[in-house]
Structure 1
Amino acid sequence: MTLNIKPATLSDFETVYHFICELEEVSFDKEKMRVIFEENLKSQKIIYLIGSYQNEPAAFLSCHLQNLLHHNGMIAEIQELFILKKFRRKKFGSILIDYLIALLKKKKVFQLEVTSNKVRTETLHFYKSIGFTDSHIKFVKPLI
């Protein structure tokens, strides 16, 4: 199966909105998300990728880049990775991440990170299966 990957554009918003709502199992405020999406598309430190199979949107990946003092350089972190259910287990996640890694190497990013909720056991297994190591613990404190 061939996954066609391209940078997301404004015309992809509806697809991304539905993917993120399904990923998080929440109906987000669409206009608020549109503002965030448009703002992030303008950033040189945010990568949004859309994967399509036979002209049907199948996957979305977002990645944020940042210069961190404690790394003494640029790192990248996957923020969202979503594959439509009917396209899962077809290597689309691996293909998207390989594509992302090629982009990041060109930008001289030396580390790719990802955080996933502990309840997403299949997701955790996926990341381990493609070479990510379970090396850190993330703490979260809701403020609102």
Structure 2
Amino acid sequence: MSVPPESVVPPPSNGPAVPPSATPSADERQWGLFAHLSALVGLIITGAWFGWGCFLGPLVIWLVKRDTMPFVNDQGKEALNFNITVGIVLLALKILVLITLGLGLLVAIPVGTVVCVAWLVFTIIAGIRANEGVYYRYPFTLRLIK
């Protein structure tokens, strides 16, 4: 006996929600690009020392466009989560340096350099992929905003 396809229940997914099947419009793709690349602009404005501007751009774009554009809602949350994760890692490195009275620089400088280069590369890749209409997922990201 065969089971009709309508009665088959798909297994639960442990990963992110499945994106809608509709292709994002050109406007949504452009705003998705802005959601990712606004982190670069925020970092330039606030400076590398403070670095907290990297999540302000994605936050503003996500808050403004989340109700009207599903693709921007998804990509804005993704960019925001990634930048918050990177901010947490860099803050932990700064605390390590303070606790060890500067000795932690031996670890913080190489690890911080790798994290910053990876942040730049992944942000650019995400912007390009969002502009292509792909629901991009950053690796090593805490999904704090659902």
TM-score under structure 2 normalisation? 0.27
Which of the pair is proportionally richer in strand? 1
Which structure is larger by alpha-carbon Rg, 1 or 2? 2
Which of the pair is proportionally richer in helix? 2
